Structure 1
Amino acid sequence: MNRRKSRELTMRLLFQMTINKEDFKEVIDNLKENLKVDNNESELLSNLKTDKSDEENMDLTDIDMSYVTRVLKGIQEKKGELDDGIEKCLIKWKINRISRVDLAILRICTYEFLYEDNIPKNVSINEAIELAKKYSGDKSAAFVNGILGKMIKNKE
């Protein structure tokens, strides 16, 4: 299983949840339905390709669907707590000013800090920065890094 790919799929689905105001179950069900697969995860994941503009497709056969589902469910249930933690690290900003992509990345990483003890914090931060670079840009990567760094510092 590839945690990086799992995290990327989680970010994309969380973004979809935010934009479409959907429940995590709806997003997972829609993913399966759109691929017309009868709940066979290995077949589902082997058929699933992400699309990053015209760049190469990413093979998602080794996605950890239990991680994806657990994190999406957890973020949905703990959204207020996660957003409070993020907002405490913002200087002269409100959470509603953060781009939806960056917010999805921050929520995933914050959730991992608080509830995924098996993931080292520096790994979560590095993965968040890479997602921000890929989906938002260098300025967003620096922003995400700053927020997460401050969050870690505040916890110490």
Structure 2
Amino acid sequence: MPIVEPTPRAPKDDSRPFSGRTLARQRAVDVLYAADLRGQRIPDAVDAWLENARHNLEGNLPQSEPELARQARAQAELDSLDSFQYARTIALGVAEHQASIDELIDAYARDWTLARMPKVDLAILRVATWELLYNDEVPTAVAIAEAGKLAQVLSTDSSPRFVSGVLHGIAENA
């Protein structure tokens, strides 16, 4: 019987550090953080963010195309990117339920008021709390783990533990 060499496996592609949903969560955190810093309504921040993204995509298209055609192509490309659409859904969901989300975060953030909390941690907590309460497609463990990863990348060394603790309290009691 001949010896068959195993087919070499393609190397794992680690060039994309975030999944589509993880990237969407980060984008939603960015939008919420910017809105909070600017004192802007979340829907207005979402509109500005999407307009900026569309403009950036348009700038990458050939300048030889008519402007309206570039705008339409850029908008179509933006609409086809799931991470942008899910980020928009999250941010607008947070805006719609912000009072109840903030009330829960405040209740489970021991010794921290929302005003005293780092803005990036608050944005991460808002995204994850929205997912815990209003998106049945995301398992609780995933929402908490993803929030912890975002806190690890975007905030202080103690933030992942703080964020996870608050979210575990919300998940267990909400």
TM score, norm. by length of structure 1 = 0.79
Aligned residues: 140
Matched to 1:132, the amino acid is A
1:7 pairs with 2:57 = no
Structure 1 unaligned regions, length at least 5: 46-60
The 1-side partners of 2:112 and 2:49 are apart by 34
Within 5 A, what are the aligned runs for 1:46-125?
62-125=81-144
1:42 offset after TM fit, Å?
5.4
Contact residue 28 and residue 69 of structure 1 kept, 8 A: yes
Aligned position for 1:29 = 47
- SS of the equivalent of 1:96 reads coil
- SS of the equivalent of 1:119 reads coil
- SS of the equivalent of 1:22 reads coil
1:3 offset after TM fit, Å?
0.4
Larger radius of gyration: 2
The 2-side partners of 1:28 and 1:86 are apart by 22
1:16 offset after TM fit, Å?
0.7
1:109 offset after TM fit, Å?
0.6
The 2-side partners of 1:80 and 1:91 are apart by 18
Contact residue 24 and residue 69 of structure 1 kept, 8 A: no
1:44 offset after TM fit, Å?
4.3
Q: Percent identity?
A: 30
